[in-house]
Amino acid sequence: MKRDANTQRTFTRRALLLGGAQGALMVGLAARMYYLQVVESEQYKLLADENRINLRLLPPPRGRILDRRGTELASNQQNYRVVLVAEQARDVSQTLDSLSRLIPLEPRDRAKVMREVKRRRSFVPVTVAENLSWEEFARVNVNAPDLPGIQPDIGESRAYPHGQTMAHVIGYVGAVSESDLTGDPLLELPGFRVGKSGIERTREDTLRGSAGVSRVEVNAYGRVIRELNRREGQPGGDVRLSIDAELQSFAMERLADESASAVVLDIHSGHILTLASTPGFDPQAFNIGLTQQAWSDLTSDPRNPLLNKAIAGQYPPGSTFKMIVAIAALEAGVVAPDQKVFCSGHVELGNQRFHCWKRTGHGNMNLVQAIEQSCDVYFYDIAKRVGIDRIAETARLFGLGDTTGIEIPAERKGLVPTRAWKQARIGEAWQQGETLVAGIGQGFVLTTPLQLAVMAARIANGGIPVKPRLIVDGEAAQTPAAESERLPVSRTSLELMAEGMRRVSNVPTGTAFGSRIREKGMEIAGKTGTSQVRRITRIERETRVLRNEELPWEERDHALFVAFAPVEAPRFAASVVVEHGGSGSRAAAPIAGDLLRRTQEIDKAIRGRVASGAPGPEERG
Amino acid sequence: MALVDDRRHDMTFFQKVANTNWFLVILIGLTAGFGIAMLYSVAGGDMSPWAGRQAIRLAVGVSLMLFVAFIDIRIWMRLAYPLYAVGLVLLLIVEIMGEVGMGAQRWLDLGFFNLQPSEIMKIAIVLALARYFHGLTAEDVQRFRWLIIPLFMALVPAGLVLIEPDLGTAILLLMLATAILFAAGVLWWKFALVFIAAVAAIPFAWDRLHEYQRERVLTLFNPERDPLGAGYQIMQSKIALGSGGVWGKGFLLGTQSHLNFLPEKHSDFIFTTLGEEFGLVGGLILLGLYTAILLYGFAAAFRARSQFGRLLAVGITTTFFLYVFINVAMVMGLIPVVGVPLPLISWGGSAMLSILIGFGLLLSVYIHRDIPIPRRPGLDPT
């Protein structure tokens, strides 16, 4: 028993030591806990937040583009798409097989999806198909239970309800390219779109808006768990245009098969109602992404669908330039309005012979008659008298030879030649014969259809230097130019032009009599133009000049027409250019006539609605 | 053969119930309840997949614990060596199966249950060593020749576990054996000798360690050196704990554990979730509960009349302490990451069961504390 007592004593001592050591170690643990959770706590709290909080950008909805009546020209539509979350799919390839039985799935897109799936983390959705029709989308939805990993999703994408009709004005949006990067973090979002041309491009800042920010909690794999808070961004602002969607559509249909352009503008405000260029293109194709084939089709088409011919097509103005020559001559005092010039069908200068379009000649012509019948010999004569530099000066007053400043990119200047220009550019002295050729709007002279419409507007509005514009600002919208800004051109000269142009469309001998508007109060005044594309050789001249129908398309003459309406108290100006259309009176004048008729009808309808107090389309917008 | 020869000290069922330390049972229940709450939290406020099943296991485990507790201490003494032998055989089977081609394996698949022989060994080694030293006099313990057998009793299973490879459990077994030898009265200088030998063996042992084990040791000393690799666990664990502060982020509101920044959040690293959600206060309360359990364990040891009971109680209590200390020190970055669960808290059936069986033995010591067990030559190891 003593031995047992001894054993027990030893045990008690040792057990106490053991227990004491354990107690001390427990205190050590408590001390470590205190150190981590109190002394160093702040540092770890910071690290914890860095761990879990991510900032996500919220792209703002892009602003709409509206026409003058509030019709949407560019808007955002729901984009029905299908995304694949790899981690939810048992077998990605099998899921895609099942999906391809419901919606068309190109092998190329399929390969892209498989690549994306491998590259990204398995919970990141990968877009499989976009821009599905409602039927396709519904089909996927119904079958969703049999498609593991497939999620029908609705995103937002740019929509152009008028398609081709507005493409040149509105432009299009596309994926951000390297050169678009400005430091705005929005631009780095995958799938973000920026304006690439047209209003979409020039008003990018207004339309884009600013990004919102969402602070989200993420887990260790980057999956979003929940949103902590968000700051909404500024949605993009709407841009309202002066374009009239109905008129624009009408113009595009009227020009449909031609390579042509048409402009209609308000002569007082400069607001452009129509800026049409054919053929058009589908702006949506650029948003989605063009295939190589579609791109080469667009760029190799001789009718050049991507070119906005109304502002970037440069054509010799032909006879539509005659008003400029006439005004220059009248203002210079080298011709009196009723002074006659005899037209024999041609005129000689040195050893050169210059022909009138009418080979038999017009006989004696005064100014108004010469415009009415577009007598070339008359204008050779007065051009020679006034000289190229005075003509150029006048042309610039009426907006030719320089950009008009319209709010879309890629506008061209055209060309108004002077002696100095030729010397500097070509290094040769100006020839007098070139003045004669310029007198009928041929030779070096180049204009855009928009410039021609502006020219017509400035003649019709009594010499107010109106500038064309597409965007309705609100305040500056209806302020007419002040009297002091009036062009240094006498009223009489302008009234003579208007009279000449009235006769073009309203007397039987006028070159556009066939395209007149008969309705009282809607009559138009205009001027035809036919500009030669090829050089007519002396031999051809001596035998027989080939008619347009006998020539290949690209050698035929351009057909032009400038006009304003109504003749009494004019309000609208228009220009129509049909590339290789033949003669201005046959190809361009009828289109311009129809266009101005429709312009006035629409205008009357709007005014009628406003006057009767019925809700106008504005309120609908 | 009757398991108990001396019927004079037999106790009735009611005596046993009356003698049970119910307060310890309640403490165990409280701690395990804390654990279930944490498992509920790490599942994002859900009873599945962990909390519900853990509660069922707890109920089964506590029943088993009481069953073990009511079995006469003398029966346990008789079963000590057989149980140790069974444990050893099972370890060998695992070893052989691993050799045969399944790679590293630590458990036997019994169909309904994965049995980890190392868990059995943790208890069996305590029983066997207590049984052995019960048969020695104070003088015997001083003699070296009596220590050869217990040394092998500890080294053989530790070696088998080490080559599984399970360094954590191997070290745990050795520390456990050391504690029992110490409590039994083995002389100080002998421990010093072994300690020196162990230190001398470190370079040798280092070469024999697996690459991942070396990684773990190295990252302990500098967890930041590879924040996405081996140091990730320790770093994230410290972030979760540290960001909890004094009062914690609140139940179910821990961000780091819920967002999966913490690996093993439901098993070995559950203490970090607790520290994150309940802060320093919660951590100290848990340590307090553990300390109370340890105190009861030592109290049982002091009150036992037999050396077997005393050593058994100290052994079980020390096992428990080692679990707690290794786990908590590990998640706080004090020692390398070794696979040791937090007792009564971590998810895991095997560990829960072995700990509760251990507590059953501890309770048995307490219930049968007044039964003297003579040192009889017939059963003495010689």
What is the DSSP annotation of B50-81?
A: THHHHHHHHHHHHHHHHHHHHS-HHHHHHHHH
Q: A-contacting residues of B 334-353, CB under 8 Å?
A: 334
What residues of A are in contact with residue B288 (Cβ under 8 Å)? none
Q: Which of B114, B107, B151 is nearest to B132 (CA)?
A: B151
In chain B, which residues have pLDDT < 70? 1-5, 98-106, 109-114, 213, 216-231, 258-264, 376-382
pLDDT higher for A527 or A79? A527
State whether A34 and B280 contact (CB < 8 Å): yes
State whether A30 and B284 contact (CB < 8 Å): yes
Q: Sort A22 into a burial class: Cβ within 10 Å, 0-12 / 13-18 / 19+.
A: buried
Residue of A11, A37, A48 with shortest CB distance to B256? A48
Residue in chain A nearest B136 by alpha carbon? A7
**Closest approach of B13 to chain A, Cα-based (Å):** 29
Peptide bond into B150 cis (omega under 30): no
φ, ψ of residue B116 in degrees (nearest 5): -100, 105
Going by pLDDT thresholds of 50, 70 and 90, the confidence category of residue A138 is: confident
Name the most confidently modeled range: A37-51, A153-167, B87-101. Answer: A153-167
Does the active-site annotation cover A319? Answer: yes
Residue in chain B nearest A217 by alpha carbon? B259
Q: A-contacting residues of B 133-162, CB under 8 Å?
A: 137-139, 141
A616: three-class secondary structure by DSSP? coil
pLDDT higher for B334 or A126? B334
Beta bridge partners, A80, equal: A154
Instruction: Give the pLDDT score at A111.
Output: 84
Residue of A3, A48, A218 with shortest CB distance to B243? A48
Burial A293-328 (b: 16+ CB within 10 A, else e): eeeeebeeeeebbbbbbbbbbbbbbbbbbbbbbbbb
φ, ψ of residue A367 in degrees (nearest 5): -60, -50
Average pLDDT over residues A171-195: 80
- Can you tell me the distance from the alpha carbon of A234 to that of A361, in angstroms, rounded to the nearest whole number? 67
What residues of A are in contact with residue B44 (Cβ under 8 Å)? none
Interface test with B, best of A3, A16, A33, A54 (most B CBs within 10 A): A33
Average pLDDT over residues A426-433: 91
Instruction: Give the pLDDT score at A193.
Output: 85
Residue B321 identity: F
State whether A26 and B325 contact (CB < 8 Å): yes
Name the most confidently modeled range: A151-160, A183-192, B46-55, B262-271. Answer: B46-55
State whether B307 and A8 contact (CB < 8 Å): yes
pLDDT at A224 over 50: yes
Instruction: Give the pLDDT score at A367.
Output: 94
What residues of A are in contact with residue B310 (Cβ under 8 Å)? 8, 11, 15
**Closest approach of B329 to chain A, Cα-based (Å):** 7
Average pLDDT over residues A88-99: 82
Q: Which of B382, B319, B301, B142 is nearest to A8 (CA)?
A: B301
Instruction: Give the pLDDT score at A616.
Output: 43
How do the residues of chain A divide into helix, strand and coil, expressed in percent and rounded to 5?
Answer: 45, 20, 35
Check CB contact of A39 with chain B, cutoff 8 Å: no
What residues of B are in contact with residue A48 (Cβ under 8 Å)? 239-240, 242-243, 255-256
Check CB contact of A94 with chain B, cutoff 8 Å: no
Beta strands (DSSP E) in A476-566 are 525-531, 558-565
**Count of CA atoms in the C-beta half-sphere (13 A) of A478:** 1
- Can you tell me the distance from the alpha carbon of A446 to that of A236, in angstroms, rounded to the nearest whole number? 39
Average pLDDT over residues A48-70: 82
What residues of A are in contact with residue B275 (Cβ under 8 Å)? 33, 36-37
Check CB contact of A224 with chain B, cutoff 8 Å: no
Instruction: Give the pLDDT score at A430.
Output: 93
pLDDT at A454 over 80: yes
Average pLDDT over residues A520-530: 93
State whether B242 and A45 contact (CB < 8 Å): yes
Q: Which residue has the tokens 């809700």?
A: A615
Q: What angle do CA A388, A391, A392 make, to 5 degrees?
A: 85
Residue of B141, B259, B294 with shortest CB distance to A22? B294
pTM for the structure as a whole: 0.63
ipTM topping 0.85: yes
Q: Which two tokens stand for residue B211?
A: 């690459």
Residue in chain B nearest A222 by alpha carbon? B259
Q: A-contacting residues of B 222-281, CB under 8 Å?
A: 236, 238-246, 255-256, 258-261, 275, 279-280
Residue B225 identity: R
Residue of A4, A19, A41 with shortest CB distance to B298? A19
State whether A37 and B307 contact (CB < 8 Å): no
A272: three-class secondary structure by DSSP? strand
State whether A52 and B310 contact (CB < 8 Å): no
Check CB contact of A490 with chain B, cutoff 8 Å: no
Check CB contact of A32 with chain B, cutoff 8 Å: yes
State whether A18 and B246 contact (CB < 8 Å): no
**Count of CA atoms in the C-beta half-sphere (13 A) of A360:** 0
Residue in chain B nearest A38 by alpha carbon? B245
pLDDT higher for A332 or B372? A332
Interface test with A, best of B133, B190, B239, B295 (most A CBs within 10 A): B239
Instruction: Give the pLDDT score at A483.
Output: 59
State whether B279 and A23 contact (CB < 8 Å): no
Q: Which of A370-384, A415-429, A503-517, B335-349 has the lowest mean pLDDT?
A: B335-349
- Can you tell me the distance from the alpha carbon of A515 to that of A512, in angstroms, rounded to the nearest whole number? 6
pLDDT at A612 over 90: no
Percentage of residues of chain A with pLDDT beyond 90: 53
Check CB contact of B110 with chain A, cutoff 8 Å: no
Pairing of strands A239-240, A65-66: parallel
Percentage of residues of chain A with pLDDT beyond 70: 93
Instruction: Give the pLDDT score at A480.
Output: 55
- Can you tell me the distance from the alpha carbon of B61 to that of B367, in angstroms, rounded to the nearest whole number? 19
Catalytic one of A319, A493, A515, A531: A319
Check CB contact of A21 with chain B, cutoff 8 Å: no
pLDDT at A478 over 70: no
Q: What is the mean pLDDT of chain A?
A: 87
What residues of B are in contact with residue A220 (Cβ under 8 Å)? 259-261
Instruction: Give the pLDDT score at B377.
Output: 43
- Can you tell me the distance from the alpha carbon of A215 to that of A577, in angstroms, rounded to the nearest whole number? 56
Residue of A15, A44, A219 with shortest CB distance to B259? A219
Check CB contact of A121 with chain B, cutoff 8 Å: no
Cβ–Cβ under 8 Å, residues A562 and A456: yes
Residue of A30, A43, A221 with shortest CB distance to B287? A30
Residue A475 identity: E
Q: Which of A201, A141, A162, A168 is nearest to A67 (CA)?
A: A162
Residue of A3, A30, A220 with shortest CB distance to B138? A3
Cβ–Cβ under 8 Å, residues A417 and A388: yes
Residue of A14, A37, A225 with shortest CB distance to B280? A37
Q: Which of A92-96, A446-450, A463-467, A575-579 has the lowest mean pLDDT?
A: A92-96
Query: Count of CB contacts below 8 A, A vs B?
Result: 141
Instruction: Give the pLDDT score at B382.
Output: 37
What residues of A are in contact with residue B179 (Cβ under 8 Å)? 18
State whether B139 and A45 contact (CB < 8 Å): no
Going by pLDDT thresholds of 50, 70 and 90, the confidence category of residue A144 is: confident
Instruction: Give the pLDDT score at B378.
Output: 40
